[in-house]
């Protein structure tokens, strides 16, 4: 079970709700993925489109899946805190995915403002899931102000590149083994999700890889299976990689082992 701030969830997959072809596809994708939570941004979903307005909120409630509001689009501490406060009123939840973007091109988190906003929200009773980079020091600062969960990126939002800095992510996981960590942003294929789960991460959050796929419903199910497989592999204690070949079958007692020593050759059977 995935445990976040003392609450347990049956799934280790979180699913975004933006950029789907229409509301019906979104609903079917949520059912196929059976996620722990679905994320939604007040700032972006209120701007119109196929899945917005009251119909959108009604659809979210019909899924029966807990909602994780996020502060997507915020670029200052003041914006992020105000958005989180509004989201708590709308969705009646203390959970918030905290996003504070520092660069418009890469959509990289501003870890300095992120720590400040997280501290304010935690003091107000929020359960903060900060969208951060793989930087170990920044992650430690977030833990210092009271965050109990981290959400490091794999790659810039929407790129589908997978783990760009795999080494740094593995170092982060090793350095903070007891902290729940969900990989957020940049995953593009189910194999990417399986990989980070095999490294010991506790879950993944997806949006673009599912919503913009040719078959979002099929892709949602594929990612759900990949997350399960990756977690199962991690728990099964994989064999460590080795640079030299190691025979998987015993050779002692095989009839033609080192047959050359007895005068047998391929050309003279």
Determine whether the annotation assigns residue 185 to a binding site: yes
Q: Strand (E) positions, 51-193?
A: 67-70, 95-98, 127-132, 151-152, 182-184
Catalytic site includes residue 123: no
- Taking CA atoms, 18 is separated from 15, 26, 27, in Å, by 9, 9, 12
Determine whether the annotation assigns residue 158 to a binding site: yes
CB within 8 Å of 153: residues ≥ 6 apart: 109, 131, 132, 133, 134, 183, 184, 185, 186
Angle (nearest 5°) at CA 222 between 220 and 228: 105
CB within 8 Å of 136: residues ≥ 6 apart: 168, 171, 172, 175, 176
Determine whether the annotation assigns residue 186 to a binding site: yes
What sign has the CA pseudo-torsion 170, 175, 180, 183?
negative
Determine whether the annotation assigns residue 214 to a binding site: no
Q: Strand (E) positions, 94-188?
A: 95-98, 127-132, 151-152, 182-184
Annotated catalytic residue, options 60, 72, 87, 97? 97
- Taking CA atoms, 75 is separated from 71, 114, 122, in Å, by 9, 10, 19
Determine whether the annotation assigns residue 64 to a binding site: no
Active site residues: 97
Could you tell me which residues are annotated as the binding site?
158, 185-186, 207-208
Could you tell me which residues are annotated as the binding site for 1-deoxy-D-xylulose 5-phosphate?
158, 185-186, 207-208
């Amino acid at each position: 079970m995935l445990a976040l701030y003392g609450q347990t969830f049956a799934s280790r997959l979180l699913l975004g709700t933006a950029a789907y072809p229409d509301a019906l596809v979104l609903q079917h994708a949520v059912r196929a993925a059976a996620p722990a939570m679905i994320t939604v941004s007040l700032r972006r979903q209120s701007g119109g489109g196929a899945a917005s307005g009251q119909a959108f909120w009604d659809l979210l409630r019909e899924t029966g899946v807990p909602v994780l509001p996020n502060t997507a689009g915020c670029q200052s501490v003041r914006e992020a805190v105000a958005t989180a406060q509004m989201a708590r009123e709308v969705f009646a939840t203390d959970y918030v995915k905290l996003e504070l973007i520092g660069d418009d091109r890469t959509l990289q988190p501003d870890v300095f403002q992120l720590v400040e906003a997280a501290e304010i929200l935690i003091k107000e009773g929020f359960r903060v899931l900060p969208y951060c980079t793989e930087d170990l020091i920044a992650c430690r600062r977030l833990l210092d102000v009271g965050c109990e969960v981290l959400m490091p990126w794999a790659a810039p939002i929407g790129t589908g590149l997978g783990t760009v800095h795999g080494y740094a992510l593995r170092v982060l996981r090793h350095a903070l083994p007891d902290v729940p960590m969900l990989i957020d942003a940049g995953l593009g294929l189910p194999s990417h999700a399986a990989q980070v789960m095999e490294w010991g991460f506790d879950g993944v959050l997806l949006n673009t890889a599912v919503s913009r796929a040719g078959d979002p419903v099929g892709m949602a199910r594929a990612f759900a299976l990949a997350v399960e497989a990756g977690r199962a592999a991690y728990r099964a204690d994989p064999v460590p990689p080795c640079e030299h070949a190691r025979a998987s079958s015993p050779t002692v007692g095989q009839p033609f082992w080192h047959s050359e020593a007895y005068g047998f050759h391929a050309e003279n059977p």
